[in-house]
Amino acid sequence: MKQAISLRLRITLFLATAIMLTLGAAIWVIDSRIDTEVSQRADANLLERAQALSDIFRVGRISDMTTFPSGQLPEFLADDGLVYFVIHCDGQDVASSAAAAALRWPVAADGKPHFADLSDPRGSELRAVVLPFVPESALTRHSILSDKHAAAHANGHAGSSCSLGLAVDRSEVEDFQGSMDTIFVGSLMLAMMVVVVLVPLLVSRGLRPLSQLAEAMRGIGPETPERRLAGANAHELKPLMTRFNEVLTRMEDGLVRERQFASGVAHELRTPLAELRTLVEVELRYPSDRDLRAMLADIGNIGIEMECMVNALLLLTRIEAGIEQVQTQSVDVAALTRKLLERHQRDINLRQLDMDARIEPGVRWHGDVTLLDVLLGNLLGNAVAYAPAGSRISLDCESQAWRLSNAASDLTAGDVALMSQRFWRKDKATGVHTGLGVALAAAAARAQGIRLNLSLHEGQLCARVEPRVHAPGDRPSSASSWA
């Protein structure tokens, strides 16, 4: 079996991973933006210095020397440490700093500044810019152009183009960027440590209601089916607790039905089992001259009694639990009534009952044929079993109602109210009936949404069954309040 993973561990891992990835992505974006901004600002500063240097050479009078010692560099360049610059005009090197010619200067195109990363012979990393500019005419005439170019200028070629290359050490920018990277990486590591420490604590605290719920569930079991979970403060747990309470309710209903069935079986089997045991023991100790077939018939009757009782209990339990599914259809109640009369005809004859049956032909109701058999059959069976011998039983089967009445002089109004309860019998010694007949009939009526009414009128017990009027597509509910 696959090993279960702790919910706390899963949430902790998910949260820690999500937080670390989010922080890492955010820091990476911020660091990239800072590096880009620092590089852009450094390039802008380098360009400003190159433009200032080009202005100096544009307006100043400079000799034709091409190399400048450091002492002659402008102050804003001399104080910056490692600096290289070079000026080209019309393909000639006009001026440059020491060792500037050893660098591989980029070529400016389209008259726009061009930036590049260089390295000098000593391996120093440099950031360079090449800036095109147009020198002043005086500068061109007196100090920049050679004689050949001056002659060309005198002949009408007034245009001249120059470019200035400036390269500075970029180690400071890289050091700053490296410092920022170190700060960000350190911050990320610190954040990860905080996440690793705090997330499990926060998850444990957040899941505390689940632990409390588990403790509450621990005390609920078959021995305490009436207990329910109290309301939770966490909104997410309310549906879970509601469903669990519903399961507890169903479990309690099942346990109640099981206990009712067990107690009913124990209660009802006690008498027939005692009769059976007494019959056998008496026959063994004091053998009689009774016919063996008659004795076996008595034993068989006791077995029939127990079988009927168990079947009735099972059916009643299944109906109340909703296990017995209601399959509604159009049922010929007239034919069903005639069939029930044939089933009980033997008992009717034995007890010399006067059966006055008026059956309207073609009576059809909407219901379950099996449950209608249980409903009408038990009512008729009770009337045949409990009506005084030789009395009259009246039965009317019509489209609007199914009515049955029999003499019951020993019943009271209070007895009628108790008749639908399990195992209720006015006379405990009557026949093989279990006291479940009316209870079964009431349960079958509720399952189909049929009205069953019992009343006592002038010594007559009257049972009236009325079919429920169904709208198109309406299905009867097992939870109907009709009884």
Q: 334 and 299 in one domain? A: no
Q: 393 and 337 in one domain? A: yes
pLDDT in tens, the chain (483 residues): 456 667 778 888 888 888 888 888 998 999 899 989 999 999 999 899 888 888 877 665 444 444 444 445 555 565 556 888 888 887 777 777 777 888 888 887 777 889 999 988 888 888 999 988 877 643 444 444 444 444 444 443 344 578 888 888 888 888 888 898 899 888 888 988 888 888 888 888 877 777 777 777 777 776 776 777 776 667 777 787 888 888 888 777 777 777 767 766 666 677 678 878 888 888 888 887 778 888 888 888 778 767 766 776 676 677 767 666 677 889 999 999 999 899 889 889 988 999 999 999 989 999 888 788 888 988 898 888 888 889 999 999 999 999 999 988 777 766 666 565 655 555 544 444 445 667 778 878 887 889 988 888 888 888 999 987 554 344 444 333 222
Q: 262 and 128 in one domain? A: no
Return the bridge partners of 130, or none.
114, 165
Alpha helices, DSSP H, located in 79-169: 137-139, 147-154
CATH of the domain at 289: 1.10.287
Q: In this structure, is residue 1 part of a structural domain?
A: no
Q: 150 and 51 in one domain? A: yes
Q: 446 and 354 in one domain? A: yes
Q: In this structure, is residue 480 part of a structural domain?
A: no
Answer for the pair 419, 477: CB distance below 8 angstroms, yes or no: no
Which DSSP category does 100 fall into?
G
How many domains, the chain?
3
Q: 173 and 26 in one domain? A: yes
Q: 17 and 148 in one domain? A: yes
Answer for the pair 239, 213: CB distance below 8 angstroms, yes or no: no
Answer for the pair 380, 344: CB distance below 8 angstroms, yes or no: yes
Q: In this structure, is residue 261 part of a structural domain?
A: yes
Helix (H, G, I), strand (E, B) or coil at 154: helix
Q: b or e along 450-479 (b: 16 or more beta carbons within 10 Å of the residue's beta carbon)?
A: bebebebeeebbbbbbbbbeeeeeeebebe
Which DSSP category does 388 fall into?
P
- How many angstroms separate the CA atoms of 93 and 115, rounded? 20
Where does a domain end: 304, 321, 338? 321
Provide the domain limits for residue 315.
Answer: 237-321
Q: 316 and 350 in one domain? A: no
Q: In this structure, is residue 346 part of a structural domain?
A: yes
Q: 271 and 353 in one domain? A: no
Q: 380 and 334 in one domain? A: yes
Where does a domain end: 321, 351, 386? 321
Full DSSP string of 42-91: HHHHHHHHHHHHHHHHHHS---S--EE-GGGS-HHHHTTSSEEEEEEETT
Full DSSP string of 299-319: HHHHHHHHHHHHHHHHHHHHH
- How many angstroms separate the CA atoms of 418 and 425, rounded? 9
Q: 165 and 51 in one domain? A: yes
Q: 439 and 335 in one domain? A: yes
Where does a domain end: 158, 178, 198? 178
